[in-house]
Amino acid sequence: MSRLLDVRGLPPCEPFDRILAATDELPFGEALEVLIHREPLPLYEWLAEHGFGHRTVQESSEQFRIFIHHLPS
């Protein structure tokens, strides 16, 4: 099961803030599916440091789909 979060077109910092808030509410075993207009490279480091894995699919030059999940402890 996954939850969809669309942050395309939001001004800087707002996509990152919304993604972090959504990871706080993400139950183990579920994925967060994020639609965003640019690849959020700083997010990947934050996810790794906080126990999350991710998979990114570039759908076009202006759309990325990122699947975020908890890593096993």
Tens place of pLDDT per residue across the chain (73 aa): 789 999 999 999 999 999 999 999 999 999 999 999 999 999 999 999 999 999 999 999 999 999 999 999 8
Rounded-to-integer distance, Cα 66 and Cα 59, Å: 10
Q: For position 56, which CATH number holds? A: 3.30.110.40
Domain count, the chain: 1
Domain of 49 in residue numbering reads as 2-70
pTM score of the predicted model? 0.94
Identify the residue whose tokens are 């395309």: 8
Indicate the SS3 state at residue 9.
coil
